């Protein structure tokens, strides 16, 4: 067990270093509206078994900490994780959070949230609400969208941290295919 802990630590350190490297590296993501690339295998595997990967730069560290502390009642569902896995994901989310990653768009999100608040829904932050204020209520309910939690339904490049308006395609009413999740052979688990 001890060996595994050490290993987890090493993997985690490598991940944090790699992320730092990306931030400080040739691509200047800091001043960009595009969120910096992030990668963590455990985060990817665990979180995307139920939903799209929400970029850690979309919420401040205190929100992620609150989120990860309440996984047994996660938006109405039990998403509990074993403590080592939960802690690894928390460290990754916090290290790359909106108030920590130095990215311009993330900083705007963070600045739009009152200091005493730790929202769990990205769509409840003032910045994100304001950005979507022209979207009519029925658009969110279209079959291909489902809800405001489905960023990738319209933000075709959300997976790359790119939420630029140029890459938004709002699905028409009556098209049932969910963007990013084409119906076809099932993904493994």
Angle formed by the axes of helices 83-95 and 2-24, nearest 10°: 20
How many Å apart are CA 56 and CA 145, to the nearest integer? 22
Q: Which two tokens stand for residue 28?
A: 């200047």
Q: Which residue from 5, 7, 28, 160 is in contact with another protein, where contact means CB under 8 A?
A: 7
Residue 80 parent element (H or E): none
**Options 24-32, 75-83, 92-100, 127-135: segment touching another protein (CB under 8 A):** 75-83
Q: Does 2 bind another protein (CB under 8 A)?
A: no
Query: Do 56 and 97 touch, CB atoms closer than 8 A?
Result: yes
Least Å from the CB of residue 104 to another protein: 28
Q: Does 49 bind another protein (CB under 8 A)?
A: yes
How many Å apart are CA 165 and CA 4, to the nearest integer? 44
Nearer to another protein, 17 or 50 (CB): 50
How many Å apart are CA 147 and CA 113, to the nearest integer? 22
**Options 21-29, 79-87, 90-98, 154-162: segment touching another protein (CB under 8 A):** 79-87
Nearer to another protein, 63 or 103 (CB): 63
Q: Which residues bind another protein (CB under 8 A)?
A: 3-4, 7, 48-52, 72, 75-82, 146-147, 149-150, 153, 178, 181, 183, 186-189
């Amino acid at each position: 067990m001890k060996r595994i802990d050490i290993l987890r630590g090493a993997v985690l350190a490598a991940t944090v270093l790699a992320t730092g490297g990306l931030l400080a590296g040739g691509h200047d993501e800091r001043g960009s509206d595009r969120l910096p690339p992030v990668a963590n295998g455990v985060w990817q595997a665990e979180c995307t078994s139920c939903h799209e990967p929400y970029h850690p730069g979309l919420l401040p560290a205190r929100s992620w900490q609150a989120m990860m502390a309440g996984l047994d009642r996660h938006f109405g569902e039990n998403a509990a994780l074993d403590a080592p896995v939960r802690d690894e994901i928390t460290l990754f989310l916090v290290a790359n959070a909106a108030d920590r990653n130095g990215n311009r768009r993330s900083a705007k999100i963070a600045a739009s949230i009152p200091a005493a608040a730790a929202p769990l829904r990205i769509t409840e932050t003032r910045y994100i609400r304001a950005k979507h204020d022209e979207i009519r209520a029925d658009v969110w309910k279209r079959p291909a969208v489902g809800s405001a939690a489905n960023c990738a339904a319209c933000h075709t490049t959300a997976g790359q941290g790119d939420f630029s308006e140029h890459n938004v395609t709002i699905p028409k009413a009556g098209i049932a295919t969910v963007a990013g999740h084409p119906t076809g052979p099932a993904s493994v688990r």
